[in-house]
Each structure stands twice: as C-alpha cells, then as structure tokens.
Amino acid sequence: MNSNTLSLTLFTTVSAIFAPLSAFSQTQVEAIPVTENIFHFSGTQANCVMLKESDGTLVVDSANTLDIAKDLQATIKTTGSGPVDYLINTHWHYDHVNGNPVFADAEATIVAHKAVRSKLQMTPTQEGNALLPKNALPEICFDQDLTIFFENETVYIYHPETDGAHTMGDSVVYFKTSNVIAMGDLLFAGMYPYIDPNDNGWPQGMVAALHDVEKMIDDKTIVIPGHGPVTDKKGLQESADMLQDIGQKIDIMIKEGKTLEQIKKARPTADWDEKYGKVWMNGDTFTELVYNCLKNHR
Ligand SMILES: [Zn+2]
C-alpha cells in the first residue's frame, strides 16, 4: 500500500481490514491506521496521532489523563514503534497535554507554539488543579512554524497567523509526504466546536485559520480533527462555512444591541443544528459560547 496514493475513500476499508492493534492488550486505547506509518487513536478523548518511521516516532497530543497516556504509550509499543522521540502539543487544553509527563519521563522532546508553554506555566491542567511539572512543558517553541525532517517524512508544524482562533497558540501538524494533517482543535468534525472565550478564541479567528490551512492541502489530504471522525478538505471547508455564517449572524445581532436571550430566540444556528448540534453542544449552547467569545474578544 502506497501511503501517498491512499485516498480517504480507502480509509474506511483499511480500518476494517486492520483489526485494532490493541485488541489483545490490556489498554482501552486503540491504534487506528490512517496510512502505513500514521495512526490515530481512539479512547484518548481528543484525537492523538502518531507517525512511526524507521528513524523515529512522533506523537501529536498526549491525551487527557496520565493513566490514559500510559495506555497510549503501551498501545504505541504494540505497533512496533520505538520510544516516542517528539511530542507535539497542538494547544494547551488539558485533553491535549495532560499526558505530557508520561512522554517527558520517557525522554520525548516536547514541541509547541510559544503561547502554549507560557500558558501552561501559569494554568493548572492536571488532576488536583496542579501545573504540569517543568520537564513536561514544551521545550522547543516556535513563533510561526517549525519543520522536523525524518528520512521518509517531512513534518510541518504551523501556527496560523490570527489574533486568537480556538486559543491563542493553535498549531496544525502536516505530514507533507503522506499528505495527512492533524488539525488539533481548529477542527471538530461533525459537531459544534469548543472555542475558548477566555483565551481570545472567536469564530472569525477559527475561520481565518481554517482558510489558511485550506491553502496548504488538497482534495486528497486526509484531515484528522481534534475531535470527531477523520474527514477531508471538504469537511474542513464546510466547518469554516458554518462558523462564518453563525459568527456573522451573532456578531450583527450583538452590534444591534440584542441580548443573549433575544439572539437565542432568533436561532442563528438553525441551518446547521441537524448536522452539528446533535453530538454534545446543541444550537442554544453553541450560540451562547459564540456570544461569549465575541463579547470577550480583545
Ligand atoms: Zn481545545
């Protein structure tokens, strides 16, 4: 199987053929192949992604608890991979960083946008309201982008230039050779996305970031969201359209002086609720979140 030509259509077939690699282990975390060398994992709350190369292993996001990160680590071993060399944090939210200590203790180098490190230095994410230990903070940080070269894969880590999107320090991880992209929480597939009103997140920033990423990828790119099932460029574009539409409608109503209750009554999410409002947030909850984001945005 040539990973370069693997299309999204094939993905379902491939997943069905490859039994979950953890089927015979003790862990709840399952490795699901995306291509020959790239896997994503179920059971980790947010989607974690792994690149397994002969000259190294890279993981995107470290799961929501230490226990699940240990399961993730065990599942990674079942794929035949060596220890994790690089861990990328797509942003600072707990469900993407709380397993960092497990990988840091196993000598992984942690990489993230500089805003992720500074946020994690001050913001408790761990159980018991604790900060991440110092050795589990990102140690290589970048402003806009960073590339890691493996013998057979180029990994491009990119921070879309916005004044806040999902958070202030979002990155995507683009496996250029395999044409697979891990979106972090800039993309929730098939559901309304969380946007962080307390870290300058807002729908317009999400839209700008998604349009930025759109220019990097093509119709064959396999797109792995931060939450939800694997999708493609079309799924990404539709998510941007949804955010643009709802964000604009609520923004206009705020500028007209409408209250949150009046805005909810106007049902700005009506056109999208059937497709996006059934998994966790409904239209009303998402309207309130967008309202708070727009009110808080600096
Ligand atoms: Zn998040």
Measure the CA–CA gap between 237 and 231, rounded to whole angstroms: 11
Q: What is the pLDDT of residue 25?
A: 45
In angstroms, the CA 111 to CA 240 distance is 27
d(CA 220, CA 232): 7
What pLDDT score does 27 carry? 64
Q: What is the pLDDT of residue 145?
A: 98
Per-domain boundaries in the chain: 3-235
Cα of 2 vs centre of ligand 1, distance in Å, is 32
CA of 93 to the centre of ligand 1 (A): 5
How far does residue 194's CA lie from ligand 1's centre (Å)?
Answer: 7
Residues of the chain with pLDDT under 70: 1-27
* Residue 26: predicted pLDDT: 54
pLDDT for res 128: 84
The rounded Å distance from CA 34 to ligand 1 centre is 22
Q: What is residue 233's predicted lDDT score, i.e. its pLDDT? A: 98
The residue ranges of DSSP E strands in 177-230, in sequence order, are 180-182, 222-224
Q: Which CATH architecture has domain 3-235?
A: 4-Layer Sandwich (3.60)
Give the CB-side neighbour count of residue 97, counting CA atoms within 13 A. Answer: 30
Residue 4's pLDDT is what?
Answer: 37
Which residues make Cβ contacts (< 8 Å) with residue 156, sequence separation at least 6? 145, 147, 173, 174, 176, 216
Paired strand residues for 59: 50, 87
Q: Which residues pair with 58 in a beta bridge?
A: 51, 86
Output the pLDDT for position 162: 84
Distance CA 130, CA 11 (A): 39
